[in-house]
Amino acid sequence: MRVVVADDAVLLREGLIRLLTEQGHEVVAAVGDGPSFVHAALTHNPDISIVDVRMPPSHTDEGLRAAVAVRAARPGTPILVLSQYVEVSYADDLLATVRSGGTTGARGAIGYLLKDRVADIAEFLETLERVAAGGTVLDPEVVAQLLVRRGARDPLEALTTREREVLALMAEGRTNTAIARQLVVSEGAVEKHVRNIFTKLALPPDEELNRRVLAVLAYLRT
């Protein structure tokens, strides 16, 4: 894949470039601030971009705003946002660009992860592929916050512990296969849990993965 990397920390940026190159990807641009990223993403039209949230010039949520800007200029551009911290309100900003995608339908092509997750190389590379293919990937910590945020008034109370686990993994954007592997159960069991969850939450059942993720997220965010 052709990749744009944006991170002002040279150490990590070089690490990422090395990792991606070793895996046979091509890094077409490596930049260190928000405006350069917007420019690079729109010029090179990469298969995926990896962006750090905190970057110059503002040293606040520069990367996040740049990602939102790129997605506004070119809806559906696949972007994976990395950060030392994950916050629900940042995830909200990113997911908002999915809804405004309009014609792209159930295409998410957005990911939001803690930087640490890169250390799990295999998982990280798989995430890249998923986002590039239009998937939606959220960090488990964001999903946990989404679940807590709902507090007491809760149809989620009706779910069993196992169903909650499955719901969380769905919200992270995982496939049934991945969920089954993670929970060490059969895929059939996962499918059954998923059906139960959708019934209990009164969501329309959907076999297509990305539509399912977005439906679950939309549910959790309201």
Partner 1 sequence: MPTARPPTVKDMTAITAPVTPASPATPATPEGHGGARMLRQLGVDTAYVLLGFPLAIIVFVLLVTGLSLGAGLLITLLGLPVLVATLFVARGFAEVERARMPAVLRQDRVGARYKTAGPDAGRWRRLLTPLTDLQAWLDVLHGIVRFPVSTATFSVVVTWWAAALGGLTYALWDWALPHSPDNSELPELLGFQDTAAVRITFYLAVGVVFAVTLPFVVRACALLEAWLAHAMLTGVASLRDQVAGLTSRAATAQAQTASAVSAEATALRRLERDIHDGPQQRLVRLSVDLGRAQQQIARDPEAARRTVDEALGQAREALDELRTLSRGIAPPILTDRGLTAAIAALAARNTVPVTLDLPELGRLNPLVEQTAYYTVAETLANVAKHSHARRCTVTVHVIDDRLNVWIADDGVGGAHLAKGHGLAGLTDRLHAAGGRLQVSSPAGGPTHVHAELPGQTEP
Binding string, residues 82-121; x marks residues near partner 1 by CB under 8 A: --xx-xxxx------------------------xx--x--
Distance of CA 54 to the CA centre of its chain: 17
Task: Please identify, using beta-carbon distances, which residue of 72 and 121 lies nearer to partner 1.
Answer: 121
CA–CA distance, 102 with 89 (Å, rounded to integer): 22
SS3 69: helix
CB of 174 to partner 1, least distance (A): 19
Task: Please identify, using beta-carbon distances, which residue of 63 and 134 lies nearer to partner 1.
Answer: 63
Copy the structure tokens of residue 111: 């990911």
User: Which pairing describes strands 2-6 and 26-31: parallel, antiparallel, or unpaired?
Assistant: parallel
Task: Please identify, using beta-carbon distances, which residue of 85 and 96 lies nearer to partner 1.
Answer: 85
Q: Smallest Cα–Cα separation from 23: which of 135, 137, 121?
A: 121
CA–CA distance, 100 with 2 (Å, rounded to integer): 25
Considering only residues 51 through 70, tell me which ones interact with partner 1, judged by CB under 8 A.
54, 60-61
Number of residues that bind partner 1 (CB under 8 A): 18
* Cβ proximity of 91 and 142 under 8 Å: yes
Q: Smallest Cα–Cα separation from 135: which of 117, 111, 114?
A: 111
Stretch of residues binding partner 1 (CB under 8 A), selected from 7-15, 28-36, 79-87, 158-166: 79-87
CB of 139 to partner 1, least distance (A): 12
Considering only residues 137 through 156, tell me which ones interact with partner 1, judged by CB under 8 A.
145-146, 148-149, 151-152
Judged by the rule CB under 8 A, the positions of this chain that interact with partner 1 are 54, 60-61, 84-85, 87-90, 115-116, 119, 145-146, 148-149, 151-152
